[in-house]
Amino acid sequence: MDARTAGGPTQGSAPTSGVSAAFDEWVLSTDDPLTDYHPAFTGNGRLAARVPAAGNGFAEAPVRTQFHVAGFYTGRGGGWSRKASLPAWTTLDVSDGSGSFNDAFSSVRETEEQLVGGDWAAVTRPEAGAARGIERYRQSLDLRTGVITTEARWTSPAGRVTDVRYQVLTDRSRPHVAAVTVTVTPHWAGTLVVTDTLDDRAASRTTPARQGAGAGRIWTVTEAEGSGIVAAVVSVLDAAGTAPPRPVEEGTAAWTVTVRALPGHPCSFTKYVSVVTSHDADDPPGAARAHADAAARAGYGRLADDNHRAWAREWEGDIVVRGDARLQRQVRASKFYLLTSVREDSPWSPSPAGLSSDSYNGHVFWDTETWILPSLLAQHPQIAESVLDYRVRRLDAARAYASDGGHGGARFPWESGLTGDEDTPAWAPFGRLEQHVSSDVALAFWQYWLATGDERWLRTSGLPVLSAVADFWTSRVTADAEGRCHINGVIPPDEYAEGPHDDSVYTNVAARAALRFAARAAETLGQPADPRWTDVADRLVIPFDQAQGIHPEFTGYEGQRIKQADVVMLAYPWENPQPAEVSRADLEYYVPRTHEDGPSMTDSVHSIVYAELGDAKAAFEHTRRSVEPFLRPPFEQFAEARTGGAFTFLTGHGGFLQEFLHGYSGLRWRADRVVLAPILPDPLDGIALRGLRWRGRVFDIDIRHDGTTVRLHAGEALPVEAAGQLHHVPAGGEVRLASRTPVADR
């Protein structure tokens, strides 16, 4: 029987709109699944999948494929909660009876090593290709839609040749829905078997699943260990024109369909998947069944169109880099990966690796507020609000944490998981001592207020958090005999300085700013501010070495090597009021003292501060340093460090994007205007920031060597300050500004 299902996509309906990946700047692709290959990743902000070289299913290497859904945490057994992983829901294998397509990939590395020791070009030669079973391979990720397409010609152990094409879609328009389709074109006649599976090998930190097949579906229901959070995964297989699927084995989440294969006749099969947790519904299995059934009724074409439209709305906020095609791909990939793990209707904060893996146990750090959020806020304030809602909902836990330490107000934990309790492993000192995280949260809340002007939010969410952080610092400081206030016994952002140390300059500057944010927020709302907030802020000690003209990292700092950006962050993002020569002196002192194998976001801060100082050449050098050693081919994903670490590292992607959104533009938020200081490095022809949003306005910034244009697309006139002058961009109009001349060219 020829199984041409109406639900599966055809070549003409591919999300790449028929444009060849080789010539499409939005598509990342590879023809080599072995050499320096790192598997693709996609998500819709609520659920996500790591897709292996085979284009579907589960693989242990080279990176374990994990399947995550937001909020699926274990309990705090052992002292902290952890992210749990779902069964692999993308498996849709095809077989001719002598072997399967996925089997051909399961031994890919073993065979490759035996045959040619790592040379994919050699294994695809005719004499090796037959042994390998895979030829004409290509895998691609369309950044416009998040669809991952994998194509190959497969020769089975019986010598039958079949063209196989997979697409994996996580539907941005339907937060609980994904789809996997396989189109099979046999060059032989016989029996073709397609197997739909929910593969438990990918699951981790979950109780044994209740699973089965029947009533047109396969399903699995499991719980995260110790927390009682339930996750239900349901798959509906569209195989019109075939006999009903048969369960592989009773009590398993797998079934097969068998069809008659005809030479040259393509057969398409689509599985519609839904993932629902007990955060989302009182009856996760029932809700998952309903979502999967509705997706199957809609069909793949409808899902693909809706997903494309949803992503198109997100891509209204674009960053265009002119004159460097590779850098353009890197920028767009970075934005894509941020969006895979966040959405505006999901009150979950991304961990450093987002939904791509359980790195750092899936915990939330200052990475979110300091590195990730600013790159969302500039173009996606609705998503930024959802991310901040994670902290709002855990304010009571932060109050309890401060109280447990003998302090007032709210202290946010260094690592946060399900509940908002301190989830840092007990062996690490950072949970006890790296307390600047509360100020980092406050900065993100203040930036959101500046960017949106949402007084309702400020009243109900912003001020409660800002005032609680201010109360914490008021109770946390120690006054000396002269009345000066100190913050003793902490670890600064530089984690090599485990300390504890007194008067970390970053911690003190951040605490001073947080205290003032609370006072200004209360004043904005016409509410009384605690006078202690500004009093303590004015008396906080800010260490400064007059002889060297720099800020020492902490009291007693003697120039030892540091792990990552610390003092240089006073200039950005904190905008500490300090002369430009101090910012430059801090850079020149700390850059050579920063560990060359430190995390990726350090160079992004260095780039932004150099741009602020007008040194476009140094800024661009650090842009290169902030991205090239960290990106992993072929899909431009950040690793945490040059040598490895967390992957896919959203913190690195977020820091990298800030170089364009806030570095070369000089974009800074104010309550009554937008501040710009545009500058363009010589190697680039231009940078365009599209779909920026500030207090109801939507505008673009187009930076060129001969000038910068600000265009206002929506909202009232836009007040813009540049070079000390205030301009007003009229509704529907534009204003031309001078681009700064790099210091080396003056």
Catalytic residues: 495
Among residues 104, 335, 84, which one has the least CA distance to residue 200?
Answer: 84
Do residues 168 and 90 touch, judged by C-beta distance below 8 A?
A: yes
Peptide bond before 429: cis, by omega within 30 degrees of 0?
no
The span from the CA of 243 to the CA of 239, in Å, is 8
The span from the CA of 660 to the CA of 92, in Å, is 40
User: Dihedral of the CA atoms 321, 327, 333, 336 (nearest 10)?
Assistant: -30
- The single-letter code of the amino acid at 743 is V
- The three-state DSSP-derived secondary structure of 212-253 is EEECCEEEEEEEECCCCCEEEEEEEEECCCCCCCEECCCCCC
DSSP 134-201: EEEEEEEEETTTTEEEEEEEEE-TT--EEEEEEEEEE-TTSTTEEEEEEEEEESS-EEEEEEEE-BGG
How many other C-beta atoms lie within 10 A of the C-beta of residue 11?
A: 9
Do residues 288 and 47 touch, judged by C-beta distance below 8 A?
A: no
How many other C-beta atoms lie within 10 A of the C-beta of residue 481?
A: 5
Q: Dihedral of CA 46/52/54/57: which sign?
A: negative
Among residues 218, 167, 156, which one has the least CA distance to residue 191?
Answer: 156
The span from the CA of 620 to the CA of 680, in Å, is 9
CA within 13 Å, CB half, 161:
8
Q: Any alpha helices (H) in 238-380, and if so which ranges?
A: 284-298, 300-314, 325-340, 366, 373-377
The span from the CA of 130 to the CA of 115, in Å, is 12
The span from the CA of 197 to the CA of 43, in Å, is 20
User: Dihedral of the CA atoms 723, 726, 729, 734 (nearest 10)?
Assistant: -30
Sequence-ordered list of residues with C-beta below 8 angstroms from that of 556, at least 6 positions apart, any chain: 501, 502
> Beta partners for 51?
40
The span from the CA of 488 to the CA of 435, in Å, is 11
The span from the CA of 381 to the CA of 376, in Å, is 7
